Amino acid sequence: MLDRYARQLIDPPLNLMGRGLAARGISADAVTLIGLALGLFAALLIALGQFGWALVPLLASRLADGLDGAVARATQKTDFGGYLDIAADFLFYGAIPMAFVLYDPATNGAAGAFLLASFYFNGTSFLGYAILAEKHGHKTDLQGQKTLYYSNGLLEGTETIVFFLLLCLFETFFAPLAWLFGSLCFATAILRILAAKRIYTD
């Protein structure tokens, strides 16, 4: 819901930084993999109970997630690059909740499982919608220039990043926050499916 507004603020500086990285011969795929490594390191720190320290690589990983697209725009966008980016994003989004479960399985296990199920369902609805949009030749750049069709929803990347930051800052509230956010993820997926039914029913 907030991605289109966030892109207006962050795209200009990201594009500037992306051109600088591209000029130094750094590829978009390399930035994607660096961002994933940082995100997984943040998850490791969370699993070890180092929530404050986890904020640094978590934020750095999201910076890299924006920079890879900027580097690609400054050089050459590829279908594989877009594919790698979305795969890395989904792994990151799953690793953070899993880390909280590993940190305290007894307290966070049920809520973490619910949250991961909502991510799985929401991700499936997102990718399925992208396939339908591609099949029908639909395009959008409201969330920036993407390889895949990015359908909007109640929760998008910006909201998820804010949610992860809140989890690290208020880790004792993981369970109620996870139940709430997971419910909104389920609602997002259901609304996306209803939109697909309205648009793509022949």
pLDDT tens profile 89-129: 999 999 999 999 999 999 999 999 999 999 999 999 988 88
In the block, residue with structure tokens 């500086």: 13
Q: What is the pLDDT of residue 17?
A: 85
**DSSP character at residue 18:** H
Of the listed ranges 78-87, 137-146, 177-186, 192-201, the least confidently predicted one is 137-146
Q: Exposure of 168 by Cβ count < 10 A (0-12 exposed, 13-18 middle, 19+ buried)?
A: buried
pLDDT digits (tens, 9 = 90+) for 1-33: 555 655 666 677 877 888 888 889 899 999 999
pLDDT at residue 51 tops 90:
yes
The closest of 167, 163, 175, 172 to 108, measured between CA atoms, is 175
Phi, psi of 138 (to 5 degrees): -85, 140
Of 67, 57, 183, nearest to 117 (Cα)?
A: 183
Which is higher by pLDDT, 84 or 201?
84
Residue type, position 177, single letter: L
Q: What is the pLDDT of residue 22?
A: 85
Q: For residue 106, what are the contacts with CB-CB under 8 A and spacing of at least 6?
A: none
Judged by DSSP in three states, 1 sits in: coil
Residue 134 pLDDT level (bands cut at 50, 70, 90)? confident
What is the DSSP-derived secondary structure letter of residue 172? G
Please give the average per-residue pLDDT across 35-46, as a whole number: 98
Phi, psi of 151 (to 5 degrees): -75, 140
Q: Region 67-93: what's the mean pLDDT?
A: 91
Say if residues 51 and 171 touch (Cβ distance below 8 Å).
yes
